[in-house]
């Protein structure tokens, strides 16, 4: 995504806010692009680092609603804040929940497969101790296959744990963002 596409999407999604506020917000993100390009990064890299402009606009609208409520805690501003927060939560459940459910299913399935590989490898390695006819090529092949299956099972399990750790860290960042928004709402209510 180019700088112009990102800023245009952001501007369109911020429609309804005061024009001066939209100009300030879009100007801030234009500055992010300018600083990043001055540091040698491409427009696409900067846009990817900033995230989805539609999602960003929803978050900025929610923050703007919180600020308006802080300045003037009227019932209209309260319902605007509530609507903005519910819109964020609805998007999370509509888009994030199916992705997380699919990821959880994949992790569970992959975990069982990797455990099965470890068990199969362990059984093949144990065959070496039940040799009745000496050490033949057939038994050596089973031994190496067992060691290979154990290696794939353990290595795959380690990669799976790294993937789960990465996803949990991303979810933590995502939760902190929502917590910050809720914290602003709580401070405004006090």
CB neighbour list of residue 73: distance below 8 Å, 6 or more residues apart: 188, 189
> What's the rounded mean pLDDT across residues 131-135?
64
SS3 content of the chain, % helix, strand, coil (to 5): 90, 0, 10
Listed ranges 72-76, 149-153, 177-181; the one with the highest mean pLDDT: 149-153
Assigned domain for 31 exists: no
Assigned domain for 9 exists: no
Range of the structural domain that residue 101 is part of:
74-189
Assigned domain for 95 exists: yes
Assigned domain for 119 exists: yes
Assigned domain for 29 exists: no
Residue carrying structure tokens 């501007």:
11
Read off the pTM. 0.49
Assigned domain for 8 exists: no
Tens of pLDDT, residue by residue over 59-95, are 787 777 777 767 777 777 667 666 766 766 676 677 7
Overall number of domains in the chain: 1
Assigned domain for 173 exists: yes
Using pLDDT thresholds of 50, 70 and 90, give the confidence band for residue 141: confident
Assigned domain for 86 exists: yes
How far from 8 is each of 15, 20, 26, 118, CA to CA, in Å? 11, 16, 9, 52
Q: Give the number of C-alpha atoms closer than 13 A to the C-alpha of residue 85, restricted to the C-beta side.
A: 19
């Amino acid at each position: 995504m180019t700088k112009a596409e990102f800023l245009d999407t952001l501007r369109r999604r911020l429609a309804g806010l005061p024009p001066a506020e939209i100009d300030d917000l879009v100007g801030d993100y234009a500055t992010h692009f300018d600083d990043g390009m001055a540091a040698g990064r491409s427009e696409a890299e900067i846009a990817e680092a900033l995230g989805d402009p539609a999602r960003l606009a929803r978050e900025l609208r929610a923050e703007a609603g919180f600020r308006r409520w802080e300045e003037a805690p009227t019932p209209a501003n309260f319902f605007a804040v509530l609507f903005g927060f519910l819109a964020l939560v609805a998007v999370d459940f509509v888009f994030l929940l199916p992705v997380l459910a699919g990821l959880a299913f994949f992790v569970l399935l992959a975990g069982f497969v990797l455990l099965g590989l470890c068990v199969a490898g362990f059984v093949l390695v144990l065959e070496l101790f039940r040799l009745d006819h000496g050490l033949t090529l057939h038994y050596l092949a089973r031994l190496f296959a067992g060691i290979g299956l154990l290696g794939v099972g353990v290595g795959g399990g380690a990669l799976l744990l790294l993937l789960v750790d990465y996803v949990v860290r991303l979810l933590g960042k995502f939760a902190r963002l929502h917590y910050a928004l809720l914290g602003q709402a709580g401070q405004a209510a006090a």
